[in-house]
Structure 1
């Protein structure tokens, strides 16, 4: 079988399959794992999946417990609180490294962009993200990803945030989040923006973020004052239109290739 895409979904699948039952080829266009990326929050279900790969202890060592947090209004007032010790935050590069370590040596790895899908594979798994070539090839032009008016800006700054500030700040047509990330603070912002869907100018996006969130809580202002373009990522959010089925003959879609969504987890961006 062929797995197209060596991100989170593709590596997890390659790591969980029994090498005595499955001959797997993993295709990934990047020659190396990414070294930068922001923190992912992993709930109990995701941790259970990691446990099946026998990586839970390593995940806990590499991650940070998110024992408290809240959904807040722009002023910082908590609207819904979360308490407990089940949520873990882990930087995306660290998670990818862990998943990569679980892939058996029997898995054949092919590096390079996949332009044509394997024809003789008994099963093809599309784990190649929102711009999936597998999705486009087997589901046609109506299933191709499309850009949204939502821009995502995110980064990491030094120093841990106060537990009283951790969470997401929801405004009208925007959101801002912050959480501990090892010895730093992971932050992210999403909002409607006019720049086109291709390359996003990071310094311009950071300036726009500071302006749009200038009326938010002091914790948000503190983070944005320390943020730099060198430690910030900015990108247009694309979505994958929903499909009636995510399988077709001997092809299946997983991860963002199947259900890429906007940051508010809706199929379409929310109205401002």
Structure 2
């Protein structure tokens, strides 16, 4: 039997992790990315211990931890600056075996791409699934059409296609045409990265009327900012997104005004938040596996969107061993990933709804509950990640020396 071939549609974090994991398992992998370059969507990403363990299996965990910032604590606040609670990463280490690492998405994308063979990633390659193929028939590979600009289209075949083509996945629609599209979660998100303000600040997440703001340091001295607000979908600010953010958040506590004053309006990303409307029939069909946002988009409130895509990638590569029949391997992938990720989708949706509360009584109740929980049960907030952040990858690893059971620790003072 010759070397198995795989095509990954989409060069985001999930797609690149899958490509690296499959390459380490002996597959010949080609990544097709429609953009002109590997440009990550978003600015920062939180990598919980479950994602770090998954990255350990492809020998990328240590490199990720080296380029991530470790924050010992952060505040949960109201727009006035009143602190409701303090989060403690040491508690996360005790509970889940490691803290959350905050990384710059562009650096993570570059790190993963650098682990692929030269020429494995093709940009300006818009891909369309033509035939899902049949894993039981060697004469029926999956077929993908690639738009090659003025040179016309070309057709590629592969033993496996991994669809990591995002929330509005064309591959998902082709495989399951009757399945409901992802639905609007009820709020929009803004994200950007700016230099740290001159005045000292504390990492924080602040909850306001139907809105939320987060300020998180990056390892290079810059700051990752994310914000959400309950607004109608498909909206755009008439006078620019910076003006919209100033209107909504400009009078909130330090360092929010300073960060808004520092941001280049062109650097602000705005995206409606979508979540899976219903569980799909499966995460695969034929020789095609769906991964990440293409199959389980979720609200960002648990910080698990990218983490679950990374988990998908390493589980898929684990099941698709070179000497394993592909049909049973993909069925095992669905069995492991569908119930887990749909549970995370539901849990993230529940927490996301809390951020949409706008009435004064509802917000007062929310603040009182958060403050009481912080006093009476300091680790209570972490329980939202029980069964999620403590996940460990399959026992077998995908590269010699990988450490699937590594426990990350906070750096020593």
Partner of 1:127: 164
**Once the 2 structures are TM-superposed, how far is the Cα of residue 246 of structure 1 from its aligned partner?**
2.2
- Using the TM superposition, name which of 42-51 and 246-255 deviates more: 246-255
Q: Distance in 1 between matches of 2:10 and 2:31?
A: 7
The reply on whether 1:81 has 2:87 as its aligned counterpart is yes
Partner of 1:50: 55
Quick one: structure 1 residues 161 and 267, their matched pair in 2 at CA, closer, same or farther if it must change by over 3 Å? farther
Q: Distance in 2 between matches of 1:74 and 1:219?
A: 11
Q: Please list every run of 5 or more consecutive structure 2 residues that lacks an aligned counterpart in the other structure.
A: 1-5, 91-97, 133-140, 143-158, 303-347, 358-413
**Once the 2 structures are TM-superposed, how far is the Cα of residue 113 of structure 1 from its aligned partner?**
1.2
User: What secondary structure does 1:30 align onto?
Assistant: coil
Q: Distance in 2 between matches of 1:70 and 1:209?
A: 21
Q: Deviations over 1:105-146 (max 9, x none)?
A: 484747411233455224322111101111111111533234
The reply on whether 1:16 has 2:21 as its aligned counterpart is yes
**Once the 2 structures are TM-superposed, how far is the Cα of residue 167 of structure 1 from its aligned partner?**
2.2
TM-score by length of 1: 0.85
Q: 1:68 aligns with which of 70, 73, 82?
A: 73
TM-score by length of 2: 0.58
Q: 2:106 aligns with which of 93, 108, 114?
A: 93
RMSD (Å), alpha carbons: 2.9
Structure having the higher helix fraction is: 2
Q: Please list every run of 5 or more consecutive structure 1 residues that lacks an aligned counterpart in the other structure.
A: none
Quick one: structure 1 residues 162 and 99, their matched pair in 2 at CA, closer, same or farther if it must change by over 3 Å? farther
**Once the 2 structures are TM-superposed, how far is the Cα of residue 166 of structure 1 from its aligned partner?**
0.5
Partner of 2:173: 136
Q: 1:171 aligns with which of 190, 194, 208?
A: 208
User: What secondary structure does 1:63 align onto?
Assistant: coil
**Once the 2 structures are TM-superposed, how far is the Cα of residue 95 of structure 1 from its aligned partner?**
0.4
Report if the CA contact (8 A) 2:12-2:40 is conserved: no
The reply on whether 1:257 has 2:294 as its aligned counterpart is yes
Q: Distance in 1 between matches of 2:202 and 2:267?
A: 21
Quick one: structure 1 residues 202 and 60, their matched pair in 2 at CA, closer, same or farther if it must change by over 3 Å? farther
Quick one: structure 1 residues 202 and 8, their matched pair in 2 at CA, closer, same or farther if it must change by over 3 Å? farther
Report if the CA contact (8 A) 1:39-1:92 is conserved: yes
Report if the CA contact (8 A) 2:186-2:231 is conserved: yes
The reply on whether 1:211 has 2:216 as its aligned counterpart is no
